[in-house]
Structure 1
């Protein structure tokens, strides 16, 4: 069908090609976003004296769970789960 005369011979109507316009996505730097989040959590914990323990727990969770090895391990485990589910559906 991609040959020049085939569409005309078969009577297939021509569909004009629309230019593909992709808006440039701004690159997101996760490291700077994490730093900003941590700064906001620190300032919030300094401002609120009634609950200073909870924001530090949140920052500890973010820093401990963001190490690449734990993320890679979690990703591998999730991929294994998905593969297992796909195998069960085929049977």
Structure 2
């Protein structure tokens, strides 16, 4: 009986192998074409649509507006004098202590 069960398992295994071979799927190959001059780093950034509030136009206050804003003559002269005093103070060595 043992011999008969072993023979049946061998026959079943031999008959099952062609069935497994039929499960093969044929797929197209993928080709990647490039050259070594291309960068080796890839940044993937998710895209987010801007909200309508972000598209309202120019910002209320920008650095460009600050730079191009008119200045008062007296305020400008006071700033120039202050900057000159700071530069001369920084250039003068501190007095030596005894």
TM-score between both structures, scaled by the size of structure 2: 0.30
Which structure has the bigger radius of gyration? Answer: 2
TM-score between both structures, scaled by the size of structure 1: 0.31
